[in-house]
Amino acid sequence: MKKIQFILTLSIGLSLTILSSCKKDDPTPITPIIPAPTSGTVELRLEHIFGAEDVAFSLNSADYYVTALGDSVKFTTFKYYVSNIELLKSDGSSYKQPESYFLVDASNATSTKLSIPNVPPADYTGVRFLLGVDSTRNVSGAQEGALSPANGMFWTWNSGYIFNKAEGNSPQITGMGNSFTLHVGGFTGANKALQTKTISFNGGKLTVNGTREAEIHLAVDVKEYFSAENPIQLASTNMAMMPTATTRKISENYRNMFAFEHLHNGN
């Protein structure tokens, strides 16, 4: 009997030892590490139209476009600067893209897609940008990239940039081959043509987290260039080659060309 008790005691002791050993060897549960959201690229897409009917805008069109005052127009050139882009949050803070200078050219579809890299992860509710080139760059002489004089948007005689260039023709213009040449610029003084445009996403949110496509689509209604705040009659306003009160009014008009269309937050 004593031998049986000894064997049972030994067996129980071994079992407890084994169980204790197993418990010590059990791995500690590991909490999965969820990577923090990373920065991403936002693309600002500009879609040129003419009029509320969303007529596609193009240079050298087969048909004339008709302005609010009834002028028939065709364009051979339409270029403008977008710079100092900021993505806005609902709390009033923002992300401003450094070295943000883009030359949009209606003859080049690629130029209408403005890429904003390294945007911090967040939900953004609007966008703000400058139409033109800021005063610092205007007094820094000729530069490179979008600001290169080779783009034909620099007044060498005036040491400053042309913010917008619109050229074409209209049968309402007499002489000069029925052509118009409107070059808008000026970064200081009473005829300053720099314009800031702020656009809300109308309650929508642009989500940037590094893993999702993020696009802002804006409609650019070129018809507003001639109407909006200051109606332009081409018979009397068809030539501008320096900063004037007229070019300042035109800059107020084209500020109103831009309107929110929609967002893309696809995976």
Q: Which of 93, 101, 87 is nearest to 42 (CA)?
A: 87
Structure tokens at 109: 């579809």
> What pLDDT does residue 141 have?
72
Q: Which of 248, 201, 222 is nearest to 79 (CA)?
A: 222
Q: What residues does 78 pair with on adjacent strands?
A: 166
Residue 32 lies in a domain: no
Buried b (16+ CB within 10 A) or exposed e, 153-192: bbbeeeebbbbbbbebbbebbeeeebbbebbbbbbeeebb
Domain that holds residue 124: 40-264
Residue 227 lies in a domain: yes
- Which residues make Cβ contacts (< 8 Å) with residue 195, sequence separation at least 6? 130, 131, 132, 251, 252, 254, 255
**Chain segment 227-262, per-residue pLDDT in tens:** 867 999 999 999 999 999 999 999 999 999 999 999
Residue 13 lies in a domain: no
Residue 8 lies in a domain: no
Residue 34 lies in a domain: no
Cα dihedral 45→227→250→184 (10° resolution): 60
- Which residues make Cβ contacts (< 8 Å) with residue 127, sequence separation at least 6? 44, 85, 86, 87, 88, 198, 199, 201, 216
- Give the pTM: 0.85
Residue 203 lies in a domain: yes
Q: Do the beta carbons of residue 175 and residue 162 sit within 8 Å? A: no
Residue 19 lies in a domain: no
pLDDT in tens, the chain (267 residues): 444 444 444 454 445 454 455 555 556 666 666 566 688 999 999 999 999 878 899 999 999 999 989 999 999 999 999 999 999 999 999 999 998 999 999 999 999 999 999 999 999 999 999 999 999 998 887 689 999 999 999 987 766 899 999 999 999 999 888 999 999 999 999 999 999 999 999 999 999 987 777 999 999 999 999 986 799 999 999 999 999 999 999 999 999 999 999 999 865
> What pLDDT does residue 236 have?
93
Residue 249 lies in a domain: yes
Number of domains within the chain: 1
